[in-house]
Structure 1
Amino acid sequence: MRIMTDATHLTHIPAPDGVAPARGYSHVVTGTGRLVAVSGQVAFDEDGRVVGEGDIRAQARQVFENLRRCLAGAGASFGDVVKLTYFLTDVAHLPVIREVRDEFVDAGCLPASSAVQVVALFRPELLVEVEALAVVGG
């Protein structure tokens, strides 16, 4: 089992003993501190308009920018994120979403994650929604 501890308050366990190694996420992340839960974010700009209709890369970039702003509002950053949950209308979009995620998240300490393909999100032009759990060092 390989364990990576970052410089702050989180420990990443990419593959516990007996579990196949993960590609693109850690199986387990633990931490001490204050829990921050960020509701699912979609590709809305600050005025509530959809960004990137039909463009998964543009939507993912807006989603991660919204997550960044929400985390900052709680005194957190992507370095504090322990879990991301992706809701996608087409799981084939996951590689692009991971590429965009890597622009925001340190690839050396990836959070735990789940990806779920859904029939639809709450507006038909939305392709992805992402929620986050973070632990801010205490």
Structure 2
Amino acid sequence: MTSEGPVVRLVQVPALGRAPGYSHVAEVRGGRTVYVSGQIAVDAQGRVVGEGDFRAQARQVFENLRVALAAVGLTFDAVVKLTFFLTDFAHLAAMREVRDEFVNTAAPPASSAVQVSRLVHEALLIEVEAVAAAP
């Protein structure tokens, strides 16, 4: 922290592709809180991965979260909050199964799930944003 408040570093992660109008990661120093923008099932070239396959999309989303966290030196162990946006709650159980491949299930992060009518691309079924904290 400075006398004027926290220092914020906004990070564009090349491995996640070009971000139109937002940063992939916002790191707040002096408390080390990191906000990861909602990740969707796209590769580094911006192509949708797993069209029509919820599990494939969920895995791509969590891989994108992993890459974003690594860009600021963190892992899923630092994640304190996940927010899930699903186009259909019928996928909730599958989402939890995929999530459990990435997070510490003994001490899972806080989370929220919201059903939405549509995401930024009509082929997308899931979006996840994260908040992480580190000492």
Normalised to the residue count of structure 2, the TM-score between the two structures is 0.76
- Partner of 1:104, secondary structure, is coil
The alignment yields a C-alpha RMSD, in angstroms, of 1.1
Kindly indicate whether structure 1 or structure 2 has the higher relative contact order, using CA contacts under 8 Å at least 6 residues apart: 1
Matches within 5 A, 1:3-22: none
Per the alignment, residue 9 of structure 1 pairs with none
- Partner of 1:95, secondary structure, is helix
Per the alignment, residue 79 of structure 1 pairs with 77
Structure 1 segments (4+ residues) deviating >4 Å: none
In the alignment, the residues of structure 2 paired with residue 96 and residue 33 of structure 1 have an alpha-carbon distance, to the nearest angstrom, of 34
Per the alignment, residue 58 of structure 1 pairs with 56
Unaligned regions of 5+ residues in structure 1, if any?
Answer: 1-31
Letter in 1 for 2:131: L
- Partner of 2:120, secondary structure, is coil
Deviation of 1:33 (Å): 4.1
Letter in 1 for 2:52: G
Question: Alignment length, in residue pairs?
Answer: 106
In the alignment, the residues of structure 2 paired with residue 57 and residue 110 of structure 1 have an alpha-carbon distance, to the nearest angstrom, of 20
In the alignment, the residues of structure 2 paired with residue 33 and residue 39 of structure 1 have an alpha-carbon distance, to the nearest angstrom, of 19
Among all aligned residue pairs of Structure 1 and Structure 2, give the percentage whose two residues are the same amino acid: 65
In the alignment, the residues of structure 2 paired with residue 74 and residue 85 of structure 1 have an alpha-carbon distance, to the nearest angstrom, of 20
Matches within 5 A, 1:22-101: 33-101=31-99
Deviation of 1:104 (Å): 0.7
Q: 2:115 aligns with which of 111, 114, 117?
A: 117
